[in-house]
């Protein structure tokens, strides 16, 4: 039996340090349960059975890429523009919370319409640098909401770590009444520090909900509750101090693709009366892959089939997804331009991935050297 002395919290080199003498094996077990993610620990044996456990609170890296969350209205332009720095956001956060373990990193100040696959590739390298260090519990990425789901999905398909990676933003800018930036940041930090957030892939945290990167999409131009996993619902919520998970992701595959990108994979949305002209154009531009956001169950106008067959003959990979917001594509129609005709022409069905996500997966998988049969496999849900 050993003594127990609570030495309290002390800030040392940006860590919280709790020095505790453990009373019993039972308490020791309780401690070890939360050491995995929030804390790391080393022990100093004093004498006999008396030891000191030094528990260091792990840090959370906040990587800022830009977005409305870091914007204010410029009176001359009469529009929101980047104007809040990461340190300003963190000091505002410090006024309303007690987090002392945050480490900001300014990656960019970009509105998310200007985020590119190259930026995602660079971001992945920064995320990895943090995750590889034992003193970080995980990473929060701050991002504009317009392309947030694309960066989230890209990071998910190239994900190699168990630690939580959360991506968040805000719908209102810092000049707006009801600015949601701080709430979303606080929720995201809580999710990273929750031990059950390990091994869940990249998570999107907004408006008190947790969604999986592979399932979620922005559904509304204005609402704070804009991120929805349309066919599935959120995987969890943040309720005050509790982070609660309801279910596992249904869609997630551990793709484990290497961090690579190219600029020659394209996305076309199909509409009534569309012809094959744009497909011909992209093939001439040297496209390696094209995703078609097709109609309904995965069908295109019959007049597009010549261009599609020609693209396939030239080795261009074509993935079919649906422009519907819910449901999978399937080769259920046999007419010219129907799903069966597309599959017979060598197109790949992309399950219920959205067009932008299917494009990122096709781009990355091809850059990883995957050939046609492997691509079919990776897109099969």
The interface region with ligand ASP, picked from 126-134, 140-148, 195-203, 302-310 by CB under 6 A, is 140-148
Nearer to ligand ASP, 66 or 350 (CB): 66
Select the residue interacting with ligand ASP from 108, 145, 217, 322 (CB under 6 A): 145
The span from the CA of 358 to the CA of 381, in Å, is: 12
State the minimum distance, in angstroms, from the CB of residue 112 to ligand ASP: 3
Task: Kindly tell me the burial class for residue 91, based on how many C-beta atoms sit within 10 Å of its own C-beta (0-12, 13-18, 19 or more).
Answer: exposed
Q: What are the backbone angles phi and psi of residue 183, rounded to the nearest 5°?
A: -60, -45
When asked if residue 138 is in the footprint of ligand ASP (CB under 6 A), the reply is no
When asked if residue 111 is in the footprint of ligand ASP (CB under 6 A), the reply is yes
3-state secondary structure of 373: helix
CA angle, residues 36, 134, 52, in degrees to nearest 5: 65
User: How many C-beta neighbours within 10 Å does residue 358 have?
Assistant: 27
Select the residue interacting with ligand ASP from 141, 171, 319, 362 (CB under 6 A): 171
When asked if residue 169 is in the footprint of ligand ASP (CB under 6 A), the reply is yes
b/e map 266-283, b = 16+ CB within 10 Å: bbbebeeebebeebeebb
265 is catalytic: no
CB 372 within 8 A of CB 345: no
Direct distance between the N- and C-terminal alpha carbons of the chain, in angstroms, rounded to an integer: 55
Nearer to ligand ASP, 20 or 68 (CB): 68
* Set 20, 68, 151, 364: catalytic member: 68
Nearer to ligand ASP, 110 or 319 (CB): 110
Select the residue interacting with ligand ASP from 27, 106, 122, 146 (CB under 6 A): 146
Select the residue interacting with ligand ASP from 86, 117, 138, 144 (CB under 6 A): 144
State the minimum distance, in angstroms, from the CB of residue 160 to ligand ASP: 27
Residues that bind ligand ASP (rule: CB under 6 A) add up to a total of 9
- The 198-217 contact track toward ligand ASP, x by CB under 6 A, reads --------------------
Positions in 59-88 near ligand ASP (CB under 6 A):
67-68
Nearer to ligand ASP, 174 or 210 (CB): 174
State the minimum distance, in angstroms, from the CB of residue 149 to ligand ASP: 11
State the minimum distance, in angstroms, from the CB of residue 18 to ligand ASP: 38
Q: What DSSP line would sit under 272-326, residue for residue?
A: TT--SHHHHHHHHTT-SEEEEEEBTTTB--GGGHHHHHHHHHTT-EEEEEESSSS
The span from the CA of 251 to the CA of 328, in Å, is: 12
In the bound complex, which residue of the shown chain has the CB atom lying closest to ligand ASP?
144
State the minimum distance, in angstroms, from the CB of residue 240 to ligand ASP: 25
List of E strands, the chain: 6-12, 15-21, 39-47, 50-57, 59-64, 71-74, 79-82, 102-106, 136-142, 165-168, 202-206, 209-212, 217-218, 227-228, 236-239, 242-245, 265-269, 289-294, 317-322, 348-349
When asked if residue 112 is in the footprint of ligand ASP (CB under 6 A), the reply is yes
The span from the CA of 275 to the CA of 284, in Å, is: 16
The interface region with ligand ASP, picked from 138-146, 153-161, 288-296, 338-346 by CB under 6 A, is 138-146
* Structure token pair of residue 49: 């059975």
CB 72 within 8 A of CB 175: yes
CB 274 within 8 A of CB 246: no
Parallel, antiparallel, or unpaired: how do β-strands 102-106 and 59-64 relate?
A: parallel
State the minimum distance, in angstroms, from the CB of residue 22 to ligand ASP: 47
When asked if residue 176 is in the footprint of ligand ASP (CB under 6 A), the reply is no
State the minimum distance, in angstroms, from the CB of residue 169 to ligand ASP: 5
Nearer to ligand ASP, 66 or 164 (CB): 66
Residues at the contact surface with ligand ASP, assessed by CB under 6 A: 67-68, 111-112, 144-146, 169, 171
What residues are annotated to the active site? Answer: 68
């Amino acid at each position: 039996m050993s003594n127990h002395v609570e030495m309290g919290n002390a800030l040392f080199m940006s860590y919280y340090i709790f020095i505790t003498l453990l009373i019993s094996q039972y308490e020791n077990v309780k401690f070890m349960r939360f050491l995995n993610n929030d804390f790391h620990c080393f022990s100093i044996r004093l004498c006999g059975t008396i030891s000191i456990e030094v528990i260091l609170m792990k840090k959370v890296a906040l990587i800022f890429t830009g977005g409305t969350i870091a914007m204010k209205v410029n009176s001359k332009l009469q529009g929101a523009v980047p104007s809040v720095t990461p340190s300003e956001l963190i000091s505002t956060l410090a006024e309303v919370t007690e987090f002392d373990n945050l480490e900001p990193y300014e990656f960019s100040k970009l509105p998310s319409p200007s985020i590119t696959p190259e930026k995602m590739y660079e971001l992945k390298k920064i995320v990895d640098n943090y995750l590889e260090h034992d003193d970080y519990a995980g990473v929060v990425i701050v991002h504009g909401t317009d392309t947030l789901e694309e960066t989230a999905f890209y990071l998910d398909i190239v994900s190699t770590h168990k630690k939580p990676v959360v991506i968040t933003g805000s719908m209102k800018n810092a000049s707006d009444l009801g600015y949601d930036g701080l709430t979303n940041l606080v929720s995201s930090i809580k999710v990273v520090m929750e031990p059950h957030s390990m091994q869940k892939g990249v998570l999107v945290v907004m408006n008190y909900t947790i969604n999986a990167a592979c399932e979620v999409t922005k559904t509304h131009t204005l609402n704070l509750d804009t991120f929805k996993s349309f066919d599935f619902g959120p995987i969890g919520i943040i309720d005050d101090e509790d982070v609660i998970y309801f279910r596992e992701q249904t869609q997630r595959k551990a793709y484990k693709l290497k961090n690579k990108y190219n600029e020659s994979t394209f996305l076309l949305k199909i509409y009534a009366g569309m012809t094959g002209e744009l497909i011909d154009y992209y093939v001439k531009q040297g496209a390696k892959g094209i995703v078609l956001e097709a109609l309904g169950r995965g069908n295109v106008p019959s007049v597009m089939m010549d261009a599609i067959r020609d693209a396939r003959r030239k080795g261009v990979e074509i993935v079919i997804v649906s422009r519907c917001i819910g449901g999978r594509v399937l080769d259920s129609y046999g007419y010219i331009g129907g799903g069966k005709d597309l599959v017979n022409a060598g197109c790949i069905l992309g399950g219920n991935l959205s067009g932008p996500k299917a494009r990122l997966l096709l781009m990355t998988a091809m850059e990883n050297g995957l050939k046609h049969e492997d691509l079919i496999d990776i897109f099969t849900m």
